[in-house]
Structure 1
Amino acid sequence: MPPSFVAVLARLAWRLGGFVTNRHESCGQDTTMIGSSSLGSLHTLLRRHRGVLVLVLAAGGLSGLFSAAVVAVINRLLHPHDGQLVLLTAGFAGLVTGKVAANLLSQLWLVRFAQDAVMDVTMSLCRRIVGSSLRALERAGADEVFTTLTDDVGSVVWAAQCVPNLAMNGAMVAGCGVYLLWLSPGAFLGVAGITAAGAAGYYWLHRKSFSAIRASRDAKSRTFQQFRGLTSGVKELLMNAERARRFVERDVRDAMATLRRCNLTAFQHHLAGESWTQSLYYLLIGIILVVFPSFLALPPESLTGFVFAMLYLMNPVWSIIGSFPAVSRGRIALARIEALGMSLEANEADSKGMASSQPAAAPYPMIAMEGVTFAYEPTGDQQGFTLGPLDFVIRPGELVFIVGGNGSGKSTFVKLLTGLYRPDRGTVRIGGVPVTDENRAWYRQHFSAVFSDYHLFEGLHIADSHMADEVVQQYLNWLELEGKVTVADGRFSTVNLSQGQRRRLALLTAYLEDRPVYVFDEWAADQDPHYKGVFYNRLLPDLSARGKAIVVITHDDRYYHVGDRVVKLEDGRIVKTWSPRIVHAHLGGSESG
């Protein structure tokens, strides 16, 4: 079966999902045209698995043709001619055997296709996420990304899985149609005309359900948001019964009620379309039995064949109709994926980032920010914020503390410095080389960072895991975690530790990465005085002595003298820079923490 036939089936199934631009009043959602990009993404998914998909379509189509042939043989067996009984019986047995075998193979290959597609889509999305812009992902929100990975992936695969079923059932309908045309061309045209009118009515009803399906997808994302609040904020809810009651009974209940309403609306429209089709189907059988004999000279064998074929086609017709909501949900899911900038058509090599095509990280680079500016646009009732213009330089072996009040721009500064954010204006240079969109992923590979909202992975995920196993015990001793955690095969034995101990494990991971530049965002904030002393008086000087450039966001002014410079931010601007070591020596201080 040629790949172009796969494309035709994909397009046909997608078109049947319905294009709508109307507003659905009951759910209050605007819908927009979903066009060629979503269609291309489905085609891409099918093309990636076209080997097994061709087998599924071939076996499914063959099963459908066998089914149509069985109808013809059964009808001839009901009106046998002399000498045909043995031949028809053998034909019946052979066709049934072929149908069962083809259907079995089709279902086995279909399950394989579905599982392969789930893995393919999920892995492609994960690669796209780690290759995407942090700012774009922040705008989308964690709840939207989570919904995409869990709900949308399943919807896309389910929609793609409908295509082979459509081929099998379509082949069955087409085969029976050819048989009915052979029985009586006039009666076939009458049946085709009534069927076309019924299909138009169903299409109109199905269009109305599409916007409700889209609204249901949005409501599910908001529901996930409330669930995340329930799990993340459980301590606050347990501490305040009134807050817990209001959150569950108002926020969670409202989200679930919206989801329920939109799902019911979509189901009601689909049920109306299905009821319309069933009513018209039985009306058609009645017309064949009562009206056709009065206007068409149909012999009893032909009349029986028409009625039997229509009854036999009920299951494939309902199956085709039942696939429309799944196809619609798949189209909406693909549109959501593409709205996040994670189109399935993207080349996987691009999704892995451009670091692989760039030279290795420079061993001891100087990093300079020249007139760098970054602005958060206003959203809702939140005002915008602008950082910069900033001029900043850090050299190998230098330790710089970044200080300032809440909202001064420290965390945004770190994201610009590490290449997670792209400056709106100005230039960042590394070793004199400007950082651009083409080499930003390579630039990020120069940094090891522990952010204030860090995530601790169970695996170390570093290139030389054997080296890590050999030296990790030394770092565990430094961080006083021996006896609590071990590392084997590049994985921590546990991460179920206190917040301070988890942060120390994150620091260990950064140490093992051995990058030229280290960034620590409020690392010592939840450490007791002893571990703060270890961090400032032992670990940071060790990194500096190894030629690492170090940027630390901190409020621990008693340790400023350890650094080479202190840079103070205020309202997004650098307002002061000084050398604490000179000040400390001038004052004759001996404070060491």
Structure 2
Amino acid sequence: MADRAAVRRATLDLIARDRRAAAVVLALHSAAAIAGLATPWLLGRIIDEVSGGAGIGTVDRLALAIGGCVLAQALLTRYAQYAGHRFGERAVARLRERFVRQALQLPVSVVEHAGTGDLATRSSVDVSTVGTMVRDVLPVIMLSLAELALLIGAIFLLHPLLGLVALVGFPTIYAGTRWYLRRAGAAYLAEGAATAELTDALTTTAEGARTVEALGLADERIRYGTERIGHMWATRRATLALRSVFFPVAEGSYALPIAAVLLFGGFFLDKGWFTLGEVVAAALYLQRAIGPLDQMLQWIEQAQRGMASFARVLGVGMVPPEPRGESSTPRGERLVVRGARFAYPEGHDVLHGIDLEVQPGERLAIVGPSGAGKSTLARLLAGIDAPREGTVSVGGCPVTDLDPAERRRRIALVTQEHHVFIGSLRDNLAFAAPGASDEQMREALAAVGADWHTDLPEGLDTQLGDGALDLSAADAQQIALARLVLADPHTLILDEATAALDPTTARRTERSLGAVVAGRTVIAIAHRLNTAHDADRVAVLEDGRIAELGSHHELVAAGGTYAALWRSWHG
């Protein structure tokens, strides 16, 4: 979360980047407000002229001037709103682009820890709320303040005493606004966080619907979602409670200045302190002031919501990016793990002193029961996470110290999770190699056994994703493997990368990949022991430790954990 000072600076920066348009918007609204000031004053003049015995011609001229001022105000307001919306949309476009850049620069571990719901809420609900604030709220508040100041100034110009009386009621409004602002920021931040939690609960439940159904977890997920809804409801009740105090106090104070001016002006009218036209004009100015004052107070509530959302949006950019490594270049491709220990936040160690060396071109399979730490070790080898103790290095350089782009060029990790982006098949493959030719893309697809691509109606231009061709999980995983072929790293880490494929397709894909990755280092997290059988060496992980290390035949002959797994695998 960004603090208030950072939010203010960012808001001013958004305005400053398009200061010419902001100046035009301010000038148009100010001109509209000035045009609106003339109407009450002209009405007062009509009253005084009629009281003095003026003829119908004078009244007609003043009435015509009122009509001209009303028309001018309407036109100026229309163009001011048009310019304001264009300014706001440009500002929000820049904000969205910056948010996407910052989100894509987040370390993978941070994205995983934050959860889908939090980032989804920040990128959609929060950015949209900030857009409303920049496009609608800030101009209205600023211009309402300016119009209010002009109206009060006009009353002082009529008569200083009427101006002083007109200030009655403003202390109450000020006190109520101050009370509200002190409490609203934290309340709206809590509401935003609760909304993100609910979004995350709904998203994860929808994504895991089949698992929920298979394991009979529907009641538990409903209970969890209901708790999140209850939490969000509680935070919304808290902000509603603030508004239910703030608005009645503010709106109850609107009538006080008008009543005070009429009573005071009427009492001293016979004494000649004021004319009837001045009193009427002052009352009309105050009546007119209710509009901008009410609008300003209404939008203050939205401004608090917008500031809270802006704090969440800016918070993404406050996360430290992945560390940029030193200028040193790895000497070779050997992966070495020494004394690596790792624990997830607020948890106990899941890896306990791992020692491992992987030679260039070697094929290593890592096997073991669920929860043994296989995927965690893969993340350390890929540099996504850093060990709590010990080192993980490639060519003598710590993996996490390498420049992220250099690290990803050298080491690629493909997990069980895969994603098909909305776009063409070519677009999906180009993520891994933007300069790849169509022929190279077809060869990559053929290399992983994705023969189905030849039957697509538009070939590489076939649109994928929502509203287009919906691929199966197996096809999507083959696209992920084809990206790996195009990326062409020297070390491949496959974390159960063929888990979504049926055994026959998985075996065919693994054989196809075998020809492609010849000469490269391959580390495979294996859930099918056929992969381990084909590897040069097998590392058996148990309770976060390497229990056995050797070739398939050596470990079977040793009669240990791996031999038991192999016998179980073959019945």
TM-score, scaled relative to structure 1 = 0.80
- 1:336 pairs, out of 282, 290, 312, with 312
State the partner residue of 1:365.
333
Distance 2:471 2:277 in 1: 79
Within the alignment, does 1:182 sit opposite 2:157 as a pair?
yes
Q: Which moved more, 1:167-176 or 1:220-229?
A: 220-229
State the partner residue of 1:110.
84
Within the alignment, does 1:306 sit opposite 2:278 as a pair?
no
Deviations 1:257-305 (A, max 9, x none): 4433433442343243222222211122112112343358222111011
Aligned AA for 1:159?
Answer: M
> Aligned-pair distance for 1:194?
3.1
Distance 1:269 1:283 in 2: 23
SS at match of 1:460: helix
**Any conservation in 2 of the 1:366–1:396 contact (CA below 8 Å)?**
yes
**Any conservation in 2 of the 1:209–1:267 contact (CA below 8 Å)?**
no
Distance 1:398 1:132 in 2: 32
SS at match of 1:298: coil
Distance 1:94 1:496 in 2: 61
**Any conservation in 2 of the 1:399–1:549 contact (CA below 8 Å)?**
yes
- 2:260 pairs, out of 280, 283, 287, with 287
- 2:474 pairs, out of 473, 494, 500, with 500
Within the alignment, does 1:157 sit opposite 2:131 as a pair?
yes
State the partner residue of 2:537.
565
Aligned AA for 1:132?
Answer: L
> Aligned-pair distance for 1:483?
4.2
> Aligned-pair distance for 1:489?
4.9
State the partner residue of 1:135.
109
Within the alignment, does 1:201 sit opposite 2:176 as a pair?
yes
Distance 1:440 1:508 in 2: 21
- 2:298 pairs, out of 322, 334, 347, with 322
State the partner residue of 1:266.
239
Deviations 1:491-529 (A, max 9, x none): 658662332222122111211222222121112334333
SS at match of 2:132: helix
> Aligned-pair distance for 1:551?
1.3
State the partner residue of 1:29.
none
State the partner residue of 1:213.
188
Within the alignment, does 1:552 sit opposite 2:524 as a pair?
yes
Aligned AA for 2:293?
Answer: V
- 1:398 pairs, out of 356, 362, 372, with 362
Within the alignment, does 1:469 sit opposite 2:438 as a pair?
yes
State the partner residue of 1:433.
397
State the partner residue of 1:101.
75
Change (3 A) 1:560 1:206: closer
Distance 1:52 1:354 in 2: 38
Aligned AA for 2:527?
Answer: H
**Any conservation in 2 of the 1:564–1:579 contact (CA below 8 Å)?**
yes
Aligned AA for 2:107?
Answer: S
**Any conservation in 2 of the 1:226–1:255 contact (CA below 8 Å)?**
yes
> Aligned-pair distance for 1:553?
0.5
Q: Which moved more, 1:533-542 or 1:148-157?
A: 533-542
- 2:514 pairs, out of 519, 524, 540, with 540
SS at match of 1:452: coil
**Any conservation in 2 of the 1:460–1:490 contact (CA below 8 Å)?**
no
Distance 1:559 1:52 in 2: 63
Change (3 A) 1:470 1:76: farther
> Aligned-pair distance for 1:452?
1.7
Aligned AA for 1:366?
Answer: R
SS at match of 1:151: helix
Aligned residues: 540
Deviations 1:177-216 (A, max 9, x none): 2111111112212222531333213432454555543332
- 1:452 pairs, out of 395, 416, 419, with 416
SS at match of 1:423: coil
Change (3 A) 1:509 1:436: closer
Within 5 Å, give how 1:372-387 maps onto structure 2.
Answer: 372-378=340-346, 383-387=347-351
> Aligned-pair distance for 1:145?
1.6
> Aligned-pair distance for 1:464?
5.0
Distance 2:469 2:256 in 1: 66
Within the alignment, does 1:577 sit opposite 2:541 as a pair?
no
Change (3 A) 1:572 1:325: same
**Any conservation in 2 of the 1:365–1:516 contact (CA below 8 Å)?**
yes
Change (3 A) 1:389 1:43: farther
State the partner residue of 1:256.
229
Change (3 A) 1:351 1:279: same
> Aligned-pair distance for 1:440?
3.8
SS at match of 1:155: helix
State the partner residue of 2:561.
none
Within the alignment, does 1:481 sit opposite 2:455 as a pair?
no
Change (3 A) 1:396 1:72: farther
> Aligned-pair distance for 1:328?
0.9
Deviations 1:398-447 (A, max 9, x none): 22112222112111111111121133333333333344557244323323
Within 5 Å, give how 1:34-53 maps onto structure 2.
Answer: 34-53=3-22
**Any conservation in 1 of the 2:381–2:399 contact (CA below 8 Å)?**
no
Change (3 A) 1:41 1:234: same
Change (3 A) 1:460 1:116: farther
**Any conservation in 1 of the 2:418–2:476 contact (CA below 8 Å)?**
no
Within the alignment, does 1:417 sit opposite 2:381 as a pair?
yes
Change (3 A) 1:584 1:570: closer
Deviations 1:326-375 (A, max 9, x none): 11112222333355x424xx9xxx979969x989x989733333433322
State the partner residue of 2:147.
172
Q: Which moved more, 1:568-577 or 1:301-310?
A: 568-577
Change (3 A) 1:66 1:435: farther
Distance 2:21 2:402 in 1: 37
Aligned AA for 1:308?
Answer: L
Q: Which moved more, 1:84-93 or 1:41-50?
A: 84-93
**Any conservation in 2 of the 1:420–1:444 contact (CA below 8 Å)?**
no
Distance 2:241 2:275 in 1: 42
**Any conservation in 2 of the 1:128–1:352 contact (CA below 8 Å)?**
no
For structure 1, the 5+ residue unaligned runs are 1-31, 587-592
State the partner residue of 1:17.
none
Change (3 A) 1:329 1:279: same
Within the alignment, does 1:443 sit opposite 2:407 as a pair?
yes
> Aligned-pair distance for 1:317?
1.0
**Any conservation in 1 of the 2:28–2:77 contact (CA below 8 Å)?**
yes
Within 5 Å, give how 1:78-89 maps onto structure 2.
Answer: 78-80=47-49, 88=62
State the partner residue of 1:590.
none
Distance 2:106 2:510 in 1: 34
**Any conservation in 2 of the 1:209–1:270 contact (CA below 8 Å)?**
no
**Any conservation in 2 of the 1:209–1:265 contact (CA below 8 Å)?**
no
- 1:65 pairs, out of 14, 34, 54, with 34
Change (3 A) 1:373 1:468: farther
State the partner residue of 1:517.
491
Aligned AA for 1:145?
Answer: L
Change (3 A) 1:433 1:362: closer
> Aligned-pair distance for 1:37?
2.4
**Any conservation in 2 of the 1:49–1:113 contact (CA below 8 Å)?**
yes
Distance 1:440 1:465 in 2: 18
SS at match of 1:291: helix
CA RMSD of aligned residues (A): 3.6
